[in-house]
């Protein structure tokens, strides 16, 4: 019986993220990328997700887990990926593994710096949150499980305030415009190996629905 850390041979993790654009990938537990599909269109999540999913799963062995990027990201698009991933997992009878989308981005940054021998230091993953705000999470290196160390969970900042906040935190700014679904899947694989949970089951909205309770009707005469 293979140990938990050795990359169980039958394990295939499907990653889905629609927090920025639309991305679907499949990896083996050891990190080998079996499929990596994404759409260049930052919108149109609902239109493209089915074909990307079909292509990502057609060539690879059947997924044993579905890793879902839980945001933060623009809500409407974000939900498409989560809905697709959850119901796909339901259809296949396999578990879902929620991953903060910023963790996937951070893991990509850390692995790429490790390859080039760069020193990453403390950095902030920054993504657009609409309404003149950014979402950001702060990371500092990689831990023994191979996962990014998140020193500050995702939060919102007015665009104009972000640089001052990051200066105060001593974090370099890393602006991301795409998320790699393979990195979401890899973060999930490492979390599974370590027996850790990276995110709650619910989306990282960071904002309440933008509504106000009903007020008195306005006068018409």
Partner 1 sequence: MNAPLVLGIETSCDETGIGIVRGRQLLSNTIASSMDEHARYGGVVPEVAARAHLEALQPSIDAALAEAGVTLADLDAVAVTSGPGLAGALMVGVGAAKGLAVALDKPLYAVNHLVGHIAADILDADAGELEYPTVALLVSGGHTSLLLVRDLTSDVELLGETMDDAAGEAFDKVARLLKLPYPGGPEIDRAAAEGDPTAIRFPRGLSRASDMASHRYDFSFSGLKTAVARWVEQHEAAGKPVPVADVAASFREAVVDVLVTKALDACARHGVPRLLLGGGVIANKRLREVALERAAAAGVAVRIPPLRLCTDNGAMIAALAAELISSGRRPSTLAFGADSTLPVTEIQVAEDPDAETPAPRAGATP
Measure the CA–CA gap between 151 and 170, rounded to whole angstroms: 12
Q: Does position 188 bind partner 1 by CB under 8 A?
A: no
Q: Does position 129 bind partner 1 by CB under 8 A?
A: no
Q: Does position 75 bind partner 1 by CB under 8 A?
A: yes
For residue 25, what is the enclosing H or E element? strand 22-28
The only residue of 29, 45, 165, 190 in contact with partner 1, by rule CB under 8 A = 45
Tokens at 150, concatenated: 């998140």
Q: Does position 132 bind partner 1 by CB under 8 A?
A: no
Nearer to partner 1, 28 or 82 (CB): 82
Q: Does position 41 bind partner 1 by CB under 8 A?
A: no
Question: Shortest approach of partner 1 to residue 166 CB, angstroms?
Answer: 29
Residues 6+ apart with CB under 8 A from 120: 109, 110, 113, 141
Measure the CA–CA gap between 29 and 5, rounded to whole angstroms: 9
Closest of 50, 13, 6 to residue 33, by C-alpha: 13
Q: Does position 221 bind partner 1 by CB under 8 A?
A: yes
Question: Shortest approach of partner 1 to residue 94 CB, angstroms?
Answer: 9
Q: Does position 51 bind partner 1 by CB under 8 A?
A: yes
Tokens at 89, concatenated: 């997992």
Instruction: Report cis status (omega within 30 of 0) of the bond before 72.
Output: yes
Q: Does position 76 bind partner 1 by CB under 8 A?
A: yes
Nearer to partner 1, 85 or 125 (CB): 85
Beta bridge partners of residue 38, listed in sequence order: 23
Question: Shortest approach of partner 1 to residue 142 CB, angstroms?
Answer: 31
**Tokens 């105060």 label which residue?**
168
Q: Does position 115 bind partner 1 by CB under 8 A?
A: no
Backbone torsions φ then ψ of 147, nearest 5 degrees? -110, 145
Total residues interacting with partner 1, rule: CB under 8 A: 40
Q: Site residues (CB under 8 A) for partner 1?
A: 44-51, 53-54, 57, 75-76, 79-92, 202-203, 205, 209-214, 217, 219-221
């Amino acid at each position: 019986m293979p140990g938990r850390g050795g990359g169980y041979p039958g394990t295939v993790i499907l990653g889905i993220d629609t927090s920025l654009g639309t991305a679907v990938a499949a990896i083996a537990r050891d990190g080998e990328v079996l499929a990596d599909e994404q759409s260049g269109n930052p919108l149109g999540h609902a239109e493209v997700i089915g074909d990307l999913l079909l292509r990502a799963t057609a060539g690879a062995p059947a997924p044993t887990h579905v890793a879902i990027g839980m945001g933060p990201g623009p809500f409407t698009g974000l939900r498409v990926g989560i809905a697709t991933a959850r119901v796909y997992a339901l259809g296949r009878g396999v578990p879902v593994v929620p991953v903060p989308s910023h963790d996937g981005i951070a893991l990509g940054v850390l692995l790429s710096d490790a390859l080039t021998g760069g020193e990453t230091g403390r950095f902030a993953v920054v993504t657009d949150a609409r309404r003149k705000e950014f979402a950001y999470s702060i990371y500092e290196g990689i831990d023994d499980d191979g996962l990014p160390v998140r020193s500050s969970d995702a939060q919102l900042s007015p665009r104009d305030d972000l640089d001052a906040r990051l200066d105060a935190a001593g974090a370099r700014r890393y602006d991301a415009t795409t998320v790699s679904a393979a990195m979401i899947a890899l973060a999930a694989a490492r979390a599974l190996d370590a027996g850790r949970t990276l995110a709650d089951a619910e989306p990282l909205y960071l904002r309440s629905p933008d509504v106000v309770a009903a007020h008195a009707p306005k006068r018409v005469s």
